[in-house]
A and B are shown apart, each in its own frame.
With several copies, the nearest count.
Chain A
């Protein structure tokens, strides 16, 4: 048995209820749907981690007790329907502009918990200006960033985060650095900006990493709630369909290849040091 789940790390404490059973022990539910996650089945492809990340976010909202206090901003990308999946107030932003929309919300309502959920096309291609400036201004928002190295929704075109050599519908011969450049590493890029309070990357490829992701997410949320600055957690996520791989192979590909270009870890953590405004 490896890494047994424990309730501090993502169990849904509030929701655990005793279940009657015939013998001397009760069955207690230790893992179930977070309250902040709606009942609606996801529209994602089999094995897509968008669903996983949604669940983790909902767990966090439950854990922090923020369901009544949250405004979430959805991207345009496969997660465009994310507003159907969370039980919090939700806004559908235009493609790439979630950080600007979040700025509008957070400035208007400084005591709400405001998060954006963004894909790599959304955040690192069309929305580059908005994320950089939100970070530079130190907006007190939390960014959940899904890097799957592709434009999933529009049918698998190259993203700025696609690996060199990756075949996509707009790079059928494989991504060529001479004409399309090298993958943009968002964490590395943002780390020079002083408004950033927390920045981390993790691959959503195993229960262990999922736990690590929870730890990072907590900090990224605290970066907002403790008024330190912008927090962002980048997850390396599979797109089995557009990568043309089985879900299992897609996770292996991340662990074998993607992490080489996108090393996981914490890049900025201003919570660790003295909290400053």
Chain B
């Protein structure tokens, strides 16, 4: 699973996530979503490091971020 999950149907195509991704992992889609916007997509999942810059900037709260962690240390992020 990708670290960065974009809810395409919430996206309004503002491009802020794309502009703020330090890894240039995101792009705007050619497609239109139900509301008629071109949503952002994780075009280069391999570049994404889950830094959540995109999610922070998304005005629609349309991005979820996941982080990899050892199974044994499931709670580590809480101390991070």
Contact, chains A and B (beta carbon distance below 8 A): yes
Instruction: Determine if B15 and A26 form an interchain contact, defined as CB atoms under 8 angstroms apart.
Output: no
Check B59–A37 contact: CB distance below 8 A. Answer: no
A16 interface hit (Cβ, 8 Å): yes
The yes or no answer to B41 lying at the interface (CB within 8 A) is no
In the bound complex, CA of A54 to CA of B58 (Å): 12
Q: How many angstroms between the C-alpha atoms of A24 and B67 in the bound complex?
A: 13
Interface residue count on the B side (C-beta < 8 Å): 39
> Contact mask A19-40 → B, CB, 8 Å, 1/0?
1010011111111111001000
B12–A5 CB distance below 8 A: no
Complex alpha-carbon distance, A34 and B57, angstroms:
15
Query: How long is the Cα–Cα vector from A211 to B13 in the complex, in angstroms?
Result: 23
The residue from B15, B60, B65 contacting A31, defined by CB atoms under 8 A apart = B65
Interface-lining segment among A43-51, A221-229, A256-264: A43-51
Report the separation of the CA atoms of residues A228 and B26 in the bound assembly, to the nearest whole angstrom.
44
Interface size on A, residues (CB 8 A): 49
Docked pose: A4 CA to B65 CA in angstroms? 12
Whole-angstrom distance between the Cβ of B35 and the nearest chain A Cβ: 8
| Contact of A207 (CB < 8 Å), options: B13, B49, B53 | B53
B71 with A41: CB separation less than 8 A: no
A204–B67 Cα distance when bound, in Å, is 25
Point out the residues of chain A lying under 8 angstroms from B69, CB to CB. Answer: 25-28
Q: Which residue of A lies closest to B49 (CB)?
A: A1
Does residue A52 face the partner (Cβ distance < 8 Å to B)? yes
**Per-position contact with A for B50-80: 1 when CB-CB < 8 Å, else 0?**
1111011111110111111111001001111
Tell whether, in the assembled complex, residue A246 and residue B3 are in contact, meaning their CB atoms are under 8 Å apart. no
Is A207 in contact with B59, judged by CB distance below 8 angstroms?
A: no
Q: B80 to chain A: which residues have CB within 8 Å? A: 6-8, 11
Cβ contact within 8 Å between A5 and B59: no
B8 at interface by CB-CB < 8 Å: no
B64–A47 contact, CB under 8 A?
A: no
| Contact yes or no, A27 B1, CB < 8 A | yes
Q: Assess the B37–A19 pair: CB atoms within 8 A.
A: no
Please give, as numbers and ranges, the residues of chain B lying within 8 Å of A49 by CB-CB distance: 59
CA distance A21 to B50 in the complex (A): 16
Contact A33 B61, beta carbon cutoff 8 Å: yes
Do A21 and B49 touch (CB < 8 A)? no
16 A-B residue pairs with Cβ-Cβ distance under 8 Å, sorted by A, are A3-B51, A7-B79, A7-B80, A11-B80, A19-B1, A24-B71, A25-B68, A26-B68, A27-B68, A29-B65, A30-B67, A33-B61, A42-B60, A46-B14, A207-B20, A207-B53
Query: Nearest 3 pairs between A and B by C-beta?
Result: A47-B14, A51-B59, A31-B65
